[in-house]
Amino acid sequence: MLFERIESKGLAHYSYLLGDSTQALVIDPRRDVDVYVQKAIQAGLRIRYIMETHRNEDYIVGSLELAARTGAEIWHADAQWDYQYGQAAADGQTWKLDRLTLQAIHSPGHTPGSMSYLLRDHTGAPWALFSGDALFAGDVGRVDFMGTDQLENMAGQLYDTIFHKFLPLGDGILLCPAHGAGSVCGSGIADRVWTTLGLELQINPRLQHDSRASFIAEVGRDMEKVPYFAQMEQQNLAGPALLHNLPLPPRLTAEEFARQAQEALVLDTRLELGFASAHVPGALSIWLEGVPSFGGWFLPYDRPLLLVNETGDPTRAVRYLIRMGYDNLAGTLAGGMLAWHTAGYKSASIPTVTVQQLCHLLDEHGEPWILDVRSEQEVAQNEIPEAHNIHLTQLPQRKNEVPRDRPVYVFCGSGLRAMIGASLLRQKGWDNATVVLGGLAGWSSHSCPLDLE
C-alpha cells in the first residue's frame, strides 16, 4: 500500500498519493506533477483518479497537468461552478482502488460544494479522512470567500460539516487536510504533521465551542485575501495552461538583464544580508522560502519578472512561482550579483543595524520612528511600545503613513520580512529605511530595554 503526503513548502499545501496493489490516485495535486508520476512508477502503480476537495484559490491545481501525463480521470468538487474540464463528484459516490474504497462526503463551509473523501480499507472500516480546507490540525477553514453576507451561513454549514459529518466518524480516524502550518488558508494551523479527529476534538481551539452559535460567532473571517487568489480561481475554473516541464527561464548576461530590467520587475530571492549589501536598483526582496507566502501579494502577472539568486539554479524559485501561476518569468541573472558588479553596473544597498547598534542609536538620538511589519496577531502577542504597526501586506496601500524625513527602523520577527518591507519602500521612493537584523527575536534576546521610552 502506498500512502504519501506530498507537501508544497511555503504554500504549506498537502496533496496525497494513495495506492494499493496496481492503482493509485492523487488528491489535490499541485501543478509541478513530476513527483506523483515518479513515485507511482517506482511503486509499480498507475494513477487512475485525480480528486479535488474544492476549487482552490491559493495555488494552481495540477489536475489537468497530471491528467495529460497519465490519462487519469479528474473529479471536481464545487460542481456549482462551471468547470471546463473533468467531471463532478457526487455526495456518497465511491471509487475503488484495488481493495481500497474512497467515498465522497459533501462538506460545505469553506466553499458551498467542498468535498471530503473518506478512505476505507478492504474490510470496509473507515480509516482516513481527506478533509480539504474544512478542518485542519489546530484550525478550521475560513468561511469568508462567499462574501460578507454569507458569513453566518457558511460558518453554520462548516459547523454542521465538522460536528455532524466528520466527528461522528470516530476519534481514531486519521485526519488528512489540504494544508499544514504556515498556509494562508488557516492562520492557526498547528505543526502536528499527522493528526486525528480525536486529537482535534480535544485540542483544536476552534472546536472548543458549546454551541453552534458560538462557533459561528468566532470562526475564521475577515482574513486577508491575497491579491493573486482571484487569478487562481479563474485559472482553476478554466483549466490552467499545460507546462509539460518546469519552464526554466533563460540565463541573461548582466547586459541583457540590465536592458530587460527597464521593463521588468526584478525579484531578488537571496537572504536579507546579501540584499542589504547590494542589489539591482529597484529590486524587490523576497527571500526564496518566502516566495510562496509573499510572492502573491507583491508580484505582478502583467509584467515580466527577472530573477536574482545566490546559486544560479532557479529551479526552486520556478516551482514556487508557477504554482501561483507566474508563468511570466523572463530570465535570471547569470552569475548573480558578482556578474552584475564585474560588469560595472551600479547597485543599491539598504542599511541594517543589529539590535545592539539600535540601542545605542536610540540612546543617543531618541525619538526613533519604528515600523513594525508583523501581523496584528504577532503584535498582540508581543508589542513594541511606540512602534507603528503596518502589516507587511498592507504596506503598499498604507505607505504614506511612513515619514520620509527621518530614519525609519523596520522590524519584523527576524529581519526577513522587514527587508521585503524596506525594499518596497525603496521602490516607492523612501530612502530612509533601515532594517533591524534579528528583528524582535533579537531584541527580546538582548538586554536593551524593550520599552523604548
Shortest Å, Cβ 444 to its own copies: 7
DSSP symbols for 230-243: HHHHHHHHH-PPP-
Candidate list 87, 94, 202, 208; residue touching its own copies; CB under 8 A: 202
Please identify, among the stretches 158-166, 209-217, 351-359, 363-371, the one whose residues bind its own copies according to the rule CB under 8 A: 351-359
**CA separation for the pair 453, 449 (Å, rounded):** 9
Binding to its own copies in span 424-453, by CB under 8 A: 437-439, 441-446
Of 426, 375, 376, give the one whose Cα is nearest residue 396.
426
DSSP-based three-state secondary structure for 192:
coil
Could you report how far apart the first and last alpha carbons of the chain are, in Å?
62
Please identify, among the stretches 85-93, 186-194, 233-241, 421-429, the one whose residues bind its own copies according to the rule CB under 8 A: 186-194
Could you tell me if 308 and 333 are in contact, meaning their C-beta atoms sit under 8 angstroms apart? yes
174 touches its own copies by CB under 8 A: yes
Shortest Å, Cβ 68 to its own copies: 9
Residues 360-397, buried b or exposed e (16+ Cβ, 10 A)? eebeeeeebbbbbbbbeebbeeeebeebbbbbbbebee
115 touches its own copies by CB under 8 A: no
Could you tell me if 116 and 176 are in contact, meaning their C-beta atoms sit under 8 angstroms apart? no
Q: Which is nearer to its own copies, 90 or 193 (CB)?
A: 193
Q: Which is nearer to its own copies, 227 or 281 (CB)?
A: 281
Shortest Å, Cβ 318 to its own copies: 10
DSSP state of 309: -
- Applying CB under 8 A, what is the total number of residues that bind its own copies? 86
Candidate list 85, 87, 96, 194; residue touching its own copies; CB under 8 A: 194
316 touches its own copies by CB under 8 A: no
Please identify, among the stretches 8-16, 258-266, 273-281, 377-385, the one whose residues bind its own copies according to the rule CB under 8 A: 273-281
Shortest Å, Cβ 72 to its own copies: 10
Q: Which is nearer to its own copies, 42 or 211 (CB)?
A: 42
Could you tell me if 278 and 294 are in contact, meaning their C-beta atoms sit under 8 angstroms apart? no
Could you tell me if 317 and 287 are in contact, meaning their C-beta atoms sit under 8 angstroms apart? no
H/E stretch holding 104 reads strand 100-106
Candidate list 198, 227, 239, 396; residue touching its own copies; CB under 8 A: 198
Candidate list 84, 148, 245, 262; residue touching its own copies; CB under 8 A: 245
Shortest Å, Cβ 16 to its own copies: 11
Shortest Å, Cβ 253 to its own copies: 6
Extract the C-alpha cell encoding 135. 478542518
Candidate list 44, 300, 403, 449; residue touching its own copies; CB under 8 A: 44
Q: Which is nearer to its own copies, 21 or 87 (CB)?
A: 21
Q: Which is nearer to its own copies, 313 or 401 (CB)?
A: 313
416 touches its own copies by CB under 8 A: yes
Burial class (CB in 10 A: 0-12, 13-18, 19+), 188: middle
**CA separation for the pair 65, 247 (Å, rounded):** 14
Could you tell me if 373 and 417 are in contact, meaning their C-beta atoms sit under 8 angstroms apart? yes
10 touches its own copies by CB under 8 A: no
Candidate list 92, 148, 244, 429; residue touching its own copies; CB under 8 A: 244
Could you tell me if 305 and 265 are in contact, meaning their C-beta atoms sit under 8 angstroms apart? yes
